[in-house]
Structure 1
């Protein structure tokens, strides 16, 4: 085992292939916990006797809980022992998942999933840790792999939850997730290396420094805005897709809807090496290309609303474009100088999931108002705004590394 010191922090053994894959799996499970309910909205609505629009709030509350957990917990990664902290957080997440599995009423399920969101933040503690451990020349590739693991977790969660619900009911998926979460907590307890101790900081000052850290870097603000816009349309699309596929002419079951997550896997796998664009110095132009491709995918989504094959193609392209944009944005932030990576990641992820919560919250009203056409048009307008921000800042702020 080798140890080297980089910018005042200890890097023990770097990011080995095994450690990178383990972090990616852990991140995928953690983020996937936020989305078990997404293809089960209609099933849960029938089970607990609530409306479809009411059941859709499960996704929104989970994402809001996640954003709150990111803001309140992840900054502690800059000052606490992550080898102990991350397994502890995973254990608390397992307890919340069991709460969701046994919740007898919709209000208790809502509270339990809020708890799942609050505690399923380990992926966003592992990402800045990986950035610290990785050598500069491998940082983009490592973070791309871990971010792809998170997206694959989101997509597989839909497929797995739909299949499990079809055979043994929707509650079983939360029991399975709790078991896997405990297993990963044990693995990470041994996988995370010992790191150099950092000085203690007042908790409230630490939270306030999230904002000052973002303000110190010109590259942070436009990157965060663009990524939040991308994640909002990503969430809007996947939440709305359940409505589209449940209605005629498709009338798919939850298991069939979940299978669409497999199509998204192709895009996620293709984008796995998106971070290598950063390593080659192409981060900003590649982000522009990805945003353009995302806009095109929503035009395609509108045209493809009655064709399964065309929707599968749209899912692949959309996930490839969204994943590439998010990976490059996160890698740019975590490559900025200083030792405040957990706080930068906090700002990045909180903004993303607030955007995601807005996207999922809009899905029900937009569907009721104008169906798939209104959803595709709204998403396209949001992506156009993100492209405008990119165009206005790409020659200055996005490339600033100070």
Structure 2
């Protein structure tokens, strides 16, 4: 096993102990639904899930809006586009709110749905190695059975068993997707393709409160993430997407019943990643040497190696990437807590070598990615505040 990165050698912008301090139990994105359940009067949580260290107001209706790609740093820079969100506040005790590692949608949505970090639920990144081939958790094509791959009960299922009417409002195509079945299963699903349909879907779900009149609604919004990936998180298009979200939130707040709680959060932030800062295994033999499969994401690549090659790959990547990345072996990353406590059997889902890219750098293999992915300007997945800091904004009607 390769020795741990000495604290003094960690590149600028990273913290000691491998470069990342994940949210603790009861904090960060996994704490959102536990806080919502407590707000609704649910007294217990599934085994292993920690109560939130912060509180929402007591309510009979809670709407959790997850805005894909709405990083806290980006929102702060563009707050002029978000008058309604700017008027909302963060709960006491939720300072420094963040997602886990890797800071990516598949992992974060599963943390939201289960109340666990990546190592607890096992959806460790956009891509992983499944039976010797690269498997994409978002597309979920020709992959494992979702309920077997992530067998733990979700918080949505728990809510439904506690007489809380649980509903998801999202794109119709996600109703029966593999990721939904693995991470967000439980309760009803309302398909919504337009802003108007989303509003009506949320209001319809709220009105369907169970015998105790308690409703928990999870709503998903992804246009900001798309704008950031395609145009960059500092682009005009990103700001326009935030304006559209803000207008929608204002309209929804005017139509929710009195006393309803709205909590707005996100799954990750984003950085501008120019192609000139890209490192590519397809063109750099020193980085490709010993790597048999590259998964993860361009800002948080995970490598599986040829037999006996792990130490050489770690050493080679550290030498080649220098201060543009923190590179750890699987054992080092687990020991440093990057994935939180790792459930037995899930270690193999983590790459034998894990890198967190810093600055604006990316690491990928262009032979294995679609042209649309190679053309993206915005990326996420790593340990920087720009990618892990997310908003938690709350208001009660």
Structure 2-normalised TM-score?
Answer: 0.25
